């Protein structure tokens, strides 16, 4: 009964759906995909949707999906728990938007990492203690040994791609860059810069498993200290390693992290990191050797201790994810606004071209150019801009006019733009704030809004937000004259 009520509530709220799963919230995104939380009854899943800019890009994205699916299917075939499980995939996922519009998406439905990513906990806790770090390092190396046995390498290991299940066990996710290779790889040199091994930067054939070990060294160092050992392989700190100056490298690290390690980093930890970040991947330690290293063999936290520590920060993690979702939505809205602005510009250009073809030159349509220039300068569009109704009452010094609202609004903006007095153009109304005082006087404003009266008649409503009524009345008269002058100029040019 509870599930039925929950479903009814989701239906009423108009929540998006994908393949029968209600889209509960945003989980994260990268350059090529966005991940959302889906729910059907008690089941929760991660829905990874590949970004497709245009139809020309679609075949490439389908191929990328097939490559990742092929890797995941092999990894999931052996009942190993350290890899996220693939549940379903398609290049034609049915996605129903909030407004009821149905679109097709390229993507996959995956096991949900209920406790979030390692990165979320590092951002909140700053660092893990040595016992917890060792616990997760052992789990990570065990996963890499398993993958190596199938000749699979990840090539984009980082805390963002390491998830925790409901018990806080580690699971590796996001195999979008992964490769299956029996020898050296020479057809991919990407990843995330902070974690990329030097052979990727140098674009030479490499051992994929050793690339993963290098990235794991950065992950381990970050778990222990909260920082990278170095920003990337081209930074001066790593150049010390390439010059075999390990002593100077660790002297700098000891000074940087003196609060954490007053006596300096333990020798066994330094030796492990040195072996994992060796510039020559032929000398670099293997995942199996990492597991057998003295530092790794020391005491680690048990799962109960991990759960007790990490459960205490769940609320902070959730708040962090909410902020990330809000930022993502803000960026998406900015992108949509820009796309609408670009479309309006294209429409205006198309209108001008059509006018030209029909014998009406640009000169006879000056408002087209004005609109385009003003929209570009002030970064506004008429998409979703609402023309409110005005009460049919007589107003002192009102400006009444029959005109297209877009043209009139642009005329008002152009008038105040010439004096440099525009403060703000509202996003959804035909409204703007302007400064009515001179530069050397106290700043006062007036609020101007274009509203609709009966028929096609428009009213320019002006509200004084200052005390200088003489200056206010002058500005209204100037605005009236400017609007009339602009209309006269247009009529002359159209004759």
> Per residue, what are the HEC states of 243-265?
CCCHHHHHHHHHHHCCCCCCCCC
For CA atoms 421, 424, 425, 429, the dihedral sign is negative
CA distance 18 to 5: 20
More confident residue, 27 or 9: 27
Q: What confidence score (pLDDT) does residue 61 get?
A: 93
226 three-state secondary structure:
coil
CA distance 98 to 139: 40
Residue at 322 is within a domain: no
Residue at 457 is within a domain: yes
CA torsion, points 126, 131, 132, 138, in degrees to nearest 10?
Answer: 130
Model pLDDT for residues 197-223, shown as the tens digit of each residue: 999 999 999 999 999 999 999 999 999
The total number of structural domains that make up the chain: 3
C-alpha angle 441/447/450, rounded to 5°? 145
Counting Cα atoms < 13 Å in the Cβ hemisphere of 393 gives: 5
Residue at 250 is within a domain: yes
Q: Are residues 388 and 476 in the same domain?
A: yes
Tokens 């005329």 correspond to: 411
Lowest mean pLDDT among 47-51, 81-85, 434-438: 434-438
Q: What confidence score (pLDDT) does residue 433 get?
A: 87
Q: What confidence score (pLDDT) does residue 236 get?
A: 93
Q: CATH number, domain at 174?
A: 1.10.510.10
Q: Are residues 97 and 117 in the same domain?
A: no
CA distance 432 to 450: 9
Model pLDDT for residues 444-455, shown as the tens digit of each residue: 688 888 888 877
CA distance 201 to 390: 64
Q: Are residues 134 and 260 in the same domain?
A: yes
Q: Are residues 25 and 95 in the same domain?
A: yes
Q: Are residues 127 and 100 in the same domain?
A: no
CA terminus-to-terminus distance, the chain: 72
**C-alpha separations of 130 from 77, 142, 465 in Å:** 33, 18, 61
Q: Residue 378: left (phi > 0), alpha (psi -120 to 50), or beta?
A: alpha
Give DSSP secondary structure letters for 361-380: -GGG-HHHHHHHHHHHHHT-
Q: CATH number, domain at 85?
A: 3.30.200.20
Specify whether the CB–CB gap between 486 and 411 falls below 8 A. yes
CA distance 62 to 57: 9
Q: Are residues 265 and 209 in the same domain?
A: yes
Decide if pLDDT at 12 tops 60.
Answer: no
What residues pair up with 446 in beta bridges, in sequence order? 434, 464
CA distance 224 to 240: 21
Q: What confidence score (pLDDT) does residue 348 get?
A: 65
Nearest to 214 by CA among 156, 135, 293, 146: 156
Q: At which of 258, 277, 312 does a domain end?
A: 312
Q: What confidence score (pLDDT) does residue 367 get?
A: 64
Residue at 331 is within a domain: no
Q: Are residues 442 and 475 in the same domain?
A: yes
Q: What confidence score (pLDDT) does residue 184 get?
A: 96
CA distance 399 to 448: 11
Q: What is the pTM (predicted TM-score) of this model? A: 0.66
Decide if pLDDT at 266 tops 80.
Answer: yes
Domain that holds residue 442: 379-494
More confident residue, 456 or 374: 374
Decide if pLDDT at 409 tops 80.
Answer: yes
Token output for 425: 């153009």
Q: At which of 82, 112, 142 does a domain end?
A: 112
Residue at 347 is within a domain: no
CA distance 334 to 332: 5
68 three-state secondary structure:
helix
Q: Are residues 174 and 83 in the same domain?
A: no
Q: Are residues 90 and 173 in the same domain?
A: no
Nearest to 453 by CA among 398, 378, 400: 400
CA distance 492 to 422: 28
Model pLDDT for residues 268-300, shown as the tens digit of each residue: 999 999 999 999 999 999 999 999 999 999 988
Decide if pLDDT at 253 tops 90.
Answer: yes
Residue at 361 is within a domain: no
Share of the chain above pLDDT 90, in %: 52
Specify whether the CB–CB gap between 460 and 430 falls below 8 A. no
Residue at 238 is within a domain: yes
Q: At which of 312, 331, 347 does a domain end?
A: 312
464 three-state secondary structure:
strand
- Beta strand spans in 315-471 (E): 399-402, 422-425, 431-435, 445-452, 457-464
Q: Are residues 60 and 133 in the same domain?
A: no
For CA atoms 213, 215, 219, 222, the dihedral sign is positive
Q: Burial level of 324, CB count in 10 A (0-12/13-18/19+)?
A: middle
Q: Are residues 178 and 280 in the same domain?
A: yes
Q: What confidence score (pLDDT) does residue 188 get?
A: 92
Decide if pLDDT at 394 tops 70.
Answer: no
Query: Tell me, what DSSP letter sits at residue 100?
Result: S
48 labelled binding-site residue = yes
Residue at 326 is within a domain: no
Specify whether the CB–CB gap between 24 and 39 falls below 8 A. yes
Q: What confidence score (pLDDT) does residue 214 get?
A: 98
Q: Are residues 7 and 107 in the same domain?
A: yes
Specify whether the CB–CB gap between 143 and 172 falls below 8 A. yes
* List of residues 6+ apart from 169 with CB closer than 8 A: 81, 82, 139, 303
**C-alpha separations of 423 from 81, 419, 426, 445, 448 in Å:** 58, 12, 10, 9, 11
Model pLDDT for residues 76-122, shown as the tens digit of each residue: 998 899 999 999 999 999 999 988 899 999 999 999 999 999 999 99
Q: CATH number, domain at 418?
A: 3.30.310.80
């Amino acid at each position: 009964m509870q599930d039925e009520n929950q479903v009814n509530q989701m239906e009423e709220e108009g929540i998006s759906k994908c393949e029968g799963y209600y889209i509960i919230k945003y989980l994260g995104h990268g350059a090529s995909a966005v991940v959302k939380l889906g729910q059907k009854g008690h089941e929760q899943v991660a829905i990874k949707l590949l970004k497709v800019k245009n139809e020309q890009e679609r075949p490439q994205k389908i191929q990328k999906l097939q490559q990742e699916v092929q890797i995941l299917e092999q990894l999931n075939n052996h009942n190993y728990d350290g890899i996220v499980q693939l549940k379903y995939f398609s290049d034609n996922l049915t996605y129903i938007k909030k407004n009821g519009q149905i679109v097709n998406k390229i993507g996959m439905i995956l096991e949900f990492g209920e406790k979030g990513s390692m990165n979320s906990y590092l951002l909140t806790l700053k660092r893990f203690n040595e016992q917890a770090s060792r616990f997760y390092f052992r789990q990570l190396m065990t996963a890499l040994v398993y993958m190596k046995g199938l000749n699979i390498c990840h090539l984009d290991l980082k805390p963002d791609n390491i998830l925790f299940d409901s018990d806080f066990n580690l699971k590796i996710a996001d195999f979008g860059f992964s490769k299956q290779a029996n020898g050296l790889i020479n057809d991919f040199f990407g990843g995330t810069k902070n974690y990329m091994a030097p052979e990727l930067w140098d674009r030479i054939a490499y051992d994929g498993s050793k690339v993963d070990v290098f990235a794991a060294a950065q992950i381990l160092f970050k778990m222990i200290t909260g920082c990278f050992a170095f920003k990337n392989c081209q930074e001066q700190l790593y150049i010390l390693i390439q010059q075999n100056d390990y002593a100077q490298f660790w002297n700098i690290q000891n000074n940087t992290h003196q609060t954490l390690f007053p006596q300096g980093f333990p020798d066994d930890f330094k030796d492990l990191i040195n072996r994992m970040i060796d510039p020559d991947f032929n000398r670099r330690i293997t995942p199996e050797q990492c597991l057998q290293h003295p530092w790794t063999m020391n005491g680690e936290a048990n799962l109960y201790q991990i759960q007790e520590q990490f459960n205490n920060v769940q609320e902070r993690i959730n708040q962090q994810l909410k902020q990330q979702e809000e930022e993502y939505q803000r960026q998406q809205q900015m992108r949509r606004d820009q796309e609408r602005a670009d479309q309006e510009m294209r429409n205006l250009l198309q209108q001008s071209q059509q006018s030209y073809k029909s014998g009406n030159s640009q000169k006879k349509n000056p408002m087209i150019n004005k609109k385009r220039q003003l929209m570009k300068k002030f970064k506004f569009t008429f998409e979703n801009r609402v023309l409110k109704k005005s009460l049919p009452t007589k107003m002192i010094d009102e400006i009444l006019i029959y005109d297209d609202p877009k043209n009139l609004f642009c005329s008002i903006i152009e008038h105040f733009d010439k004096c440099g007095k525009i403060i703000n153009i509202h996003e959804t109304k035909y409204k703007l704030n302007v400064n009515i005082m001179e530069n050397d006087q106290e700043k006062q404003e007036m609020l101007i809004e274009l509203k609709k009266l009966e028929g096609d008649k428009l009213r320019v409503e002006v509200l004084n937000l200052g005390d200088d009524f003489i200056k206010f009345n002058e500005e209204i008269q100037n605005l009236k004259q400017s609007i009339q002058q602009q209309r006269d100029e247009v009529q002359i040019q159209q004759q």
